[in-house]
Structure 1
Amino acid sequence: MINKADVVVIGSGGLGAATAYYLAKRGGLTVALLDKHDIGSQTSPRAAGMVSCVRKGDLMIKLIKDACRKIESFTEETGQPLDWVHSGSLKIARRPQDADVIAADLQRGKRMGLDVEQVSPDAACRLNPFLKSSGVVAALRIGDDRYFDPAQIAIGFARGAEAKGAILLPKTDVTEVSIEGDKVTGIQTTKGPIQAPVVVDAAGAWTRQVAEASDIHVPLVPTRQQLIVTEALEGARADLPMVRIMDAAVYIRPCQGGFLWGVYEEDPRFFNMKVLGPAFDVRDMPLDVDVLRRAAEEVKAQLPFLLTAKTREFRGGIPTMTADGHHILGPAPAVKGFFFASGCNVAGLSISPTIGESLAAWIVDGQLPIDLSPMSPARFSNKNWSDEQLQRDAAWQYRHFYGAV
């Protein structure tokens, strides 16, 4: 155990581990990466590992494009393995109003330099024969999209950070961020205090809990996300494009000779981490397979195999959702040295390389190479959401991640 550091990063998921890596890469800083559980063990390895490049705004497309480049060079950069496949994807509309969204996505994607093309329903089915054309109104092929093994990102960045001098402290629970006046002075942990002028709250599902222990409010809500990995299926190949059905918010991607699939449900379950208690581990999160059974029934005309494929793995994580669908990244407005890297909105792991590098630059240089003000915690300064309103807005963002009307 150490008693002093230049920067403490709380939480070793994708965002926290990437931030620690890029801080350590700068050199000359003592960086400590803490986690109340094992390093990289909570929500990140339970994610889908899908990279979606056509997003609702230009900023996210820029960030995702940069993240794609970093995913391609991950092993060369960090010295750690990362299995990824450049498969492309198909975004599917079943309603006329969602076809209009696809048309807008096509124009935005072209303007931002993405490999996008509107294809016929039959052409989409030829690209991925597990998709059927019944009920399909429009389809968008996105050539830039890819997927990766989610279990490798966080632990890879953490090990890469350690190789560059960062100190990893697993099973170290932070009880408070110490603040004197308006400045961070360190943290209190179950293993003793650590002095530090900069603390990054990247605690994932526990982000709000860490912040509120120091009287800092951050409006995000931990949300259950579930997915299934099927047994191997004849004809399934790693290079088949991923499929996203907009209005049902169902997604599939190849995985281990079968498919990984899940849904952003309309009425997600939210969690209060304080109520779950200090010993709670994401692997113990209560799952509900009926949610996925209903989703499979909803898309049976387009993805009939979901009703019959045998389950190899059923797992879930707890991503954090915000009311406006944007990450929470950067300094807390009223406390010098307190930074956030959270509010992933089910898109944290795929963008974590770019977020980590940007936040490291913000901490060390005091400025960013790109304007991330839409993600700043300061945007909440004049708003006071009740938990009920926050959950309503977060649920809407969750269900409408694919831009369905």
Structure 2
Amino acid sequence: MISKADSIVIGSGGLGAATAYYLSKRGLNVVLIDKHDIGSQTSPRAAGMVSCVRKSDLMIGLIKDACRKIEAFTEDTGQPLDWVHSGSLKIARRPQDAEVLKADFERGRRMGLDVELISPEQASRLNPFLKPMGVAAAMRIGDDRYFDPAQVAAGFARAAAAQGATVLPKTDVLTVNIAASKVTGVTTAKGIIEGPIVVDAAGAWTREVAEISGIPVPLVPTRQQLIVTEPLDGVRADLPMVRIMDAAVYTRPCQGGLLWGVYEETPRFFDMRSLGAGFDIKDMPLDIEVLRSAAREVRDQLPILQTANVREFRGGIPTMTADGHHILGPASGATGFYFASGCNVAGLSISPTLGEALATWIIDGKPAIDLSPMSVMRFKDQSWSEPELQREAAWQYRHFYGAV
């Protein structure tokens, strides 16, 4: 058991493993700790979709950088990553969402993305599983892609180890030790590790790790579910992904079938402490009726979702914030305590960029670009009751695609 480190990263999902890799690459002695197997929880259960048309210039710039890092992942880390540059189709079914789509198009074009407003019929020709009935407007995003979600966190963790990081699976962190408002290390179930920097990247357990250390963080662990169908005639790996704005339904090719899911209107939230110390994401209770209801809602546009046989039904627990933005950077009141969380169902795709940005922030004292919109400090004058926080988080979850 290692007893000292320059920095300790708690959680080996995409954000934590990427941060550990980039810290190690900069020469720090890093420990990457997880209470479960490395990269085994929500990250490998994600959809693995990269959406480049985001709601701000900052996020578009960050995701463009993440795309470059995804393309160079194997060359940079020495680890495999299977990805497909498929492009995507964003679909508006209501006039008010068509107006949002126009604004998305203008923002994307200004930021140098390959975007195009097309007719419903053109969209259907690009992906025949999408039918034009009931479609008010469509946008093609050529920059979008998807990847194998199981390879990202595990790949970054292995690459960090190759750089000299110590990787500790199945090691529970009991508390982050803080003295005189400064981090001094962590106490684990296997002993104390001293170190001046701790990154809370514990995914669904982020809040638990922070709060047992006396640091509040306003995010909510939220259930996300998806289906992978059996192989279907006509599915090709390069078919563009589809996102239907108001229904918050998405789909992409996956191993000859379709992977699809929904950001439901009333998602289930979790208090991770109430689930017990031995809880594993694979044991999360699932509800396939949520997906069946979503399939009925888009039956005119994606009729295949109602009839395709289910090969895999899985779920994860991403973390949602009240404003839909990630939480990245230093905590308030404890020098050396950093967050890498609040993924808002889009953390894995951007993890290469956020991991490098946080490593730069830690080592150089500031990130390479202004990331204050992601700082937890933005919440310092906000106080929500738990029901209020959940209500705001649920709205952000359902409206991830910008529907009015």
TM range (shorter): over 0.9
Q: Secondary structure at the match of 2:339?
A: strand
For 1:378, the equivalent position in structure 2 comes to: 377
Give the % identical residues: 76
Quote the residue 1:2 is aligned against: 2
CA distance in 1, matches of 2:289, 2:257: 21
Indicate the residue corresponding to 2:287 in structure 1: 288
- Structure 2 distance, partners of 1:23, 1:43, is 22
Describe the superposition over 1:57-84 as per-residue Cα deviations: whole angstroms up to 9, x where unpaired.
1111010000000000000000000000
Q: Which 4+ residue blocks in structure 1 deviate beyond 2 angstroms?
A: none
AA partner of residue 364 (structure 2): D
Matched, 1:362 2:361: yes
| Match of residue 23 from structure 2 | 23
Q: Partners in 1 of 2:258 and 2:157 — Cα distance?
A: 28
The amino acid that maps onto 2:374 is M
Alpha-carbon distance in 1 for matches of 2:62, 2:71: 14
1:199 is matched with which residue?
198
Q: For 1:330, what is the secondary structure of its paired residue?
A: strand
Q: What is aligned with 2:175?
A: 176
- AA matched with 1:12: S
Task: Give the Cα–Cα distance (whole angstroms) in 1 for the partners of residues 393 and 376 of structure 2.
Answer: 16
Q: Spell out the pairing of 1:4-403 with structure 2 (5 A cutoff).
A: 4-27=4-27, 29-403=28-402
Counterpart CA distance in 2 for 1:122 and 1:189 is 58
Letter in structure 1 aligned against 2:234: G
Question: What is the CA-CA distance between 1:101 and the residue it aligns to?
Answer: 0.4
CA distance in 2, matches of 1:334, 1:362: 17
1:19 counterpart letter in structure 2: T
Residue 6 of structure 1 aligns with an amino acid whose one-letter code is: D
Q: Cα offset for 1:382?
A: 1.1
Distance 1:202 1:385 in 2: 22
Tell me the CA shift for residue 333 of structure 1: 1.7
Provide Cα deviations, 1:226-274, integer angstroms capped at 9, x if missing partner.
0000000000000000000000000000000010000000000000000
Separation (CA, whole Å) in 2 of partners of 1:135 and 1:381? 44
Task: Describe the SS at the equivalent of 1:350.
Answer: helix
Offset, 1:166: 0.4
The CA distance in 1 between the partners of 2:195 and 2:276, in whole Å, is: 27
| 1:227 partner SS | strand
Q: Matched residue of 2:258: which SS?
A: strand
Deviations 1:70-106 (A, max 9, x none): 0000000000000000000000000000000010001
- Deviation of 1:396 after TM superposition, in Å, equals 0.2
**What displacement does 1:380 show?**
1.1
Q: Which amino acid aligns with 1:2?
A: I
Q: Deviations over 1:274-333 (max 9, x none)?
A: 000110000000000000000000000000000000001000000000000000000012
Indicate the SS of the match to 1:351.
helix
For the residue of structure 1 that corresponds to 2:325, the secondary structure is coil
Instruction: Find the aligned partners of 2:66 and 2:304 in 1 and give their Cα distance.
Output: 32
Output the aligned Cα RMSD. Answer: 0.4
**Aligned equivalents of 2:292, 2:382: Cα separation in 1:** 38
Deviation for aligned residue 1:334: 1.2
Separation of aligned partners in 2, 1:307 and 1:135: 17
SS of the counterpart of 1:349? helix
Structure 1 residues 149-185: Cα deviation after superposition (integer angstroms, max 9, x where no partner): 0000000000000000000000000010000011000
Q: CA separation in 2, counterparts of 1:147 and 1:4?
A: 38
1:49, CA displacement in angstroms? 0.1
Give the count of matched residue pairs.
404
**How many Å separate the matches in 1 of 2:334 and 2:213?**
10
Distance in 1 of aligned mates of 2:230 and 2:124: 22
Structure 2 CA distance, aligned partners of 1:356 and 1:25?
Answer: 11
Distance 2:383 2:165 in 1: 37
Once the 2 structures are TM-superposed, how far is the Cα of residue 385 of structure 1 from its aligned partner?
1.1
Amino acid at match of 2:26: R
* Secondary structure at the counterpart of residue 160 of structure 1: helix
Structure 1 counterpart SS, 2:86: coil
CA–CA distance in 2 between the matches of 1:103 and 1:367?
A: 35
Q: TM-score, structure 1 length as denominator?
A: 0.99
